[in-house]
Amino acid sequence: MSQPNRILIVDDEENVRLMLKAVFSQNGNTILCADNGEQAIELFKHEQPDLVLMDIRMPNMDGIEALQHMHAIYQDIPVILMTAYAAVETAVEALRLGAFDYIIKPFELDEMKLLMARALQLRDMKHEINLLHRELSDSYSHGRILTNNPKMMELCRAIAKVAQSHASVLITGESGTGKELIAKAIHYNSPRAKGQFIKVNCGALPESLLESELFGHEKGAFTGAQIQRQGLFERAHQGTLLLDEVGEMSPHLQVKLLRVLQEREFERVGGNQIIKTDIRIVAATNCDLKSMIERGEFRSDLYYRLNVMHLNSYPLRERPEDILLLARHFLQRFSAENNKDILGLDISAISILEEYKWPGNVRELENAIEHAVIMSTGYIIFSDDLPEHLQRVKNMPSSGVTPITPFEQNVNLKDNLKNYEKSLILQALNNNQNNRVQTAKVLGISLRTLMYKLQEYCIE
């Protein structure tokens, strides 16, 4: 107990309270005292102690009941119960109800100190685990990059390092390769994660609108500017601003952006008050900025300011190992979103996905899987469910009975095998126009076994 703590002592005997208070008020601890259960709950609620020492036997509300109330309010505050020998059974019951431990009166003070130190240690650990869980789930829900490709894994390691710095980042890569996802991963894994992540598409707005969007404007700065407005450089303070399609920015705005990057300050449109901002700028582009510089379309000084760290995302055709990984991820997502129960992809669909060159990269794959999920009427995605332009990629042989790769990684072996068996049966039925005799033959089982399995899996 090196750090000062707030300790709540609950006992109906005044001398016990006074003794414990005298002992534990050293080290700068704050001691709160209550002589009954109700008062203890009030103090617990409003003062949020770090630790509770509570007698079990008290008039009216006893320690066990008070413990249950406290537990319902906040579970992570440890409660140590004190009891006379005769009531040990009750104390065991208290452990079951979530007390940290119990101590039998009269006790050695050293014994109590040890118990308290352990309780506080456990509370700190729980607190840390909660924090880690939250951070983990945040960083996963915002910008989880799935990949099995060595170059992309390298990129993920670079993202983790870049995220810890304050440097500006330039993300390049073809359309749909995950540039925005990378920008989010940087933000949510950085010390700025609690600030805002704001994205602006520099190609989507005319110059004057983009200018006031980024810098904000003063009242009356231009016709229609009836009130003062904060721009994104202000709103993203302590966060991250993604300048998407930065290659589309006009020469005038390129100069103004350069100043923000150099001085970390700017003025609103129509104003002269200097505003300081603390933001991380991430820029993304699918243009070749170097050739734009040679053609005089992009400022080289701005390029070097943005390009302090450079991350490049690879086209999907250069990372074939990611096609099925991502396809299954999107399948799971869209299957759930559409309230469907799709188990996997059949081999004809798989070979189309693997064969296709994906000019629109991951976004195109995402759209293709969403299309297929919507079109699908069964448990498996067949090649016919895919968008038509994909089906033309290859003249697939009829699928036959081919293995379907189940994608559910969290179910146990038995469930997975059942799913697998069910999907094989469905596929065989489909290939044999629902002819059961033929299906049984192809599967190498008796008609009786097939009928039994159809019933077991509720297949009509």
Residues binding ligand ATP (CB under 6 A): 145-147, 173, 175-181, 286, 326, 362-363, 366
**Cα(441)–Cα(215) distance, integer angstroms:** 72
CB atoms within 10 A of CB 37: 24
**Closest approach of ligand ATP to the CB of residue 347, in Å:** 24
Q: Closest approach of Cβ 258 to ligand ATP, in Å? A: 23
Nearer to ligand ATP, 5 or 139 (CB): 139
Which of Mg ion, ligand ATP, none lies near 146, with the C-beta cut-off 5 to 8 A by kind?
A: ligand ATP
Helices 63-73 and 88-96 cross at an angle (nearest 10°) of 10
Instruction: Find which of Mg ion, ligand ATP, none residue 176 binds, CB within 5 to 8 Å per kind.
Output: ligand ATP
Strand order in the sheet with 280-285: 197-201, 240-244, 280-285, 169-172, 309-312
Interacting residues with Mg ion (CB under 5 A): 180
Task: Give the nearer residue to ligand ATP in terms of CB position, either 19 or 145.
Answer: 145
Taking CB atoms, the residue at the shortest distance from Mg ion is 180
Q: Which residues contact 28 (CB under 8 A, 6 or more apart)?
A: 4
Between residues 8 and 155, which has the closer beta carbon with respect to ligand ATP? 155
Which among Mg ion, ligand ATP, none contacts residue 366 (Cβ within 5 to 8 A by kind)? ligand ATP
Element (H, E) at 344: strand 344-345
Min dist CB 315 to Mg ion, Å, is 14
Question: 198 to each of 52, 137, 203, 239, 321, how far by Cα in Å?
Answer: 44, 20, 16, 8, 31
The DSSP code for 28 is G
Q: Which does 17 bind (CB under 5 to 8 A by kind): Mg ion, ligand ATP, none?
A: none
Instruction: Tally DSSP H helices, then E strands, for the chain.
Output: 19, 16
Please state the closest distance from residue 175 (CB atom) to Mg ion, in A: 7
Measured from the CB of residue 143, what is the shortest distance to ligand ATP in angstroms?
8
Cβ 306 to Mg ion shortest distance, Å: 16
Nearer to ligand ATP, 145 or 261 (CB): 145
How far the first Cα of the chain sits from its last, in Å, is 67
452, 421, 401, 334 alpha-carbon torsion, rounded to 10°: 120
Q: Which residue is nearest to ligand ATP (CB)?
A: 178
105 binds, among ligand ATP, Mg ion, none (CB under 5 to 8 A by kind): none
